[in-house]
Amino acid sequence: MRKNKNKRQPAKRKAASQTQNSKRPCSDSPKRTENPQLTPFEIFFKEIEKFSKLHMKDRDRVQEILQSMQKAGSKTLQVISDFDMTLTRFEYNGKRCPTCHNILERSDAISSDCKKKLQELLDKYYPIEIDSTLSVEEKLPLMVEWWTKAHELLVNQKIKKAGLAKAVKDSEAKLRDGYQYFFDHLNEHSIPLLIFSAGIGDILEEVIRQTEVFHPNVKVISNYMDFDESGVLKAFKGELIHIYNKKEGALLNTGHFQELRTRTNVLLLGDSLGDLNMADGVQDMENILKIGFLNDKVEERKQSYLDSYDIVLIKDETLDVPNAVIRFLTE
Ligand code: TMP
Ligand code: MG
């Protein structure tokens, strides 16, 4: 995994850089302009509206949610985020970035025959995943089929646990710009971050470990690999999580949401309409602000994203808007 050198800090200088980072959400955020006539909320909201990639169907509703969340304070906040194409970039220099599955597929842990088969599955099922003319009910069995076939192929490859770190290191995976502030700031304010992914937990963890942002406030719900005594992949653990059953996944993890029951305000980040269900296990929810990244097939999907997410970020490869929101909520 090639890290952006500007964002990578030598271990010794990390503490200093974190303090610095905590003062600014990102290098390219709009500058704060103090205006005595405006309230802090108005200043903040004007700032986020300047992002040209930000779209909202109901601006007043977004304002209401944000004001209510700010009033409740950051001790009542939890963040729930999808991983692939939400915390990671969709493209870089015009080239698609890999998902957790792609990281493994493109590594030398997989035979060329298996690579070909996984690519064929991607070519067949990804267009279905993002097809706005099909209902969730129509897509659901096909998504189960995709995940089941892909995992079967992976299990047949006798992948070694010891090779996963190298697969991630050699990959083109990239967290979105502004990731350092996002992870560090949430940790500094002890705000729990749940990463809820239909990808592969072992790979996801390795990505955030290698970028040095796997802080103690992070919990991951995902598909985890099951290795035998000699460290060879023999199956995937537990219930399969695919793109459209995050509701069931959330309801299986009641313990986690029970622990966070005083955190009744949620910031949710996703890139698929299936991600909207990630907060279904949250107890006594008071407010939820849903931010959706619309990365692909923009024109066909724009309306459905605007109808479902409070804020839609179109072809935005940064975490600037979520960062501005978490900065405002922790001020
Ligand atoms: P996410 O829940 O973290 O976004 O992860 C799910 C993504 O994984 C979804 O967009 C499709 C992708 N995927 C692949 O790229 N290859 C595969 O073989 C499978 C099963 C999923
Ligand atoms: Mg995703």
Is residue 18 one of the residues assigned to a domain?
Answer: no
Query: Are 66 and 208 members of one domain?
Result: yes
The CA 287 to ligand 1 mean position distance, Å, reads 28
Query: Are 221 and 308 members of one domain?
Result: yes
Is residue 12 one of the residues assigned to a domain?
Answer: no
As for how many domains the chain has, the answer is: 2
Of 84, 205, 222, the residue with max ligand 1 atoms within 8 A of its CB, to mutate for a pocket test, comes to: 84
Q: Which atom of ligand 1 is nearest to the CA of 82?
A: 3
Backbone torsions φ then ψ of 293, nearest 5 degrees: -90, 120
Token pair recorded at residue 124: 């067949």
Is residue 307 one of the residues assigned to a domain?
Answer: yes
Backbone torsions φ then ψ of 232, nearest 5 degrees: -110, 135
Is residue 28 one of the residues assigned to a domain?
Answer: no
> Which domain CATH number covers 199?
3.40.50.1000
Per-residue pLDDT of the chain (331 residues; tens, 9 = 90+): 755 544 433 333 333 333 334 444 554 444 555 567 899 999 999 999 999 999 999 999 999 999 999 999 999 999 999 999 999 999 999 999 999 999 999 999 999 999 999 999 999 999 999 999 999 999 999 999 999 999 999 999 999 999 999 999 999 999 999 999 999 999 999 999 999 999 999 999 999 999 999 999 999 999 999 999 999 999 999 999 999 999 999 889 999 999 999 999 999 999 999 999 999 999 999 999 999 999 999 999 999 999 999 999 999 999 999 999 999 999 9
Q: Of 121, 148, 169, at which residue does a domain stop?
A: 169
Burial 298-313 (b: 16+ CB within 10 A, else e): eeebeeebbeebbbbb
Which ligand neighbours the alpha carbon of 196 most closely?
1
Is residue 208 one of the residues assigned to a domain?
Answer: yes
Domain carrying residue 255: 33-90+173-329
Query: Are 101 and 177 members of one domain?
Result: no
Angle of helix 136-155 versus helix 112-129 axis, rounded to 10: 170
Query: Are 228 and 319 members of one domain?
Result: yes
The pLDDT of residue 59: 97
Is 82 one of the catalytic residues?
yes
Q: Which atom of ligand 1 is nearest to the CA of 195?
A: 3
Q: Of 169, 188, 205, at which residue does a domain stop?
A: 169
Catalytic annotation, pick one of 60, 84, 123, 320? 84
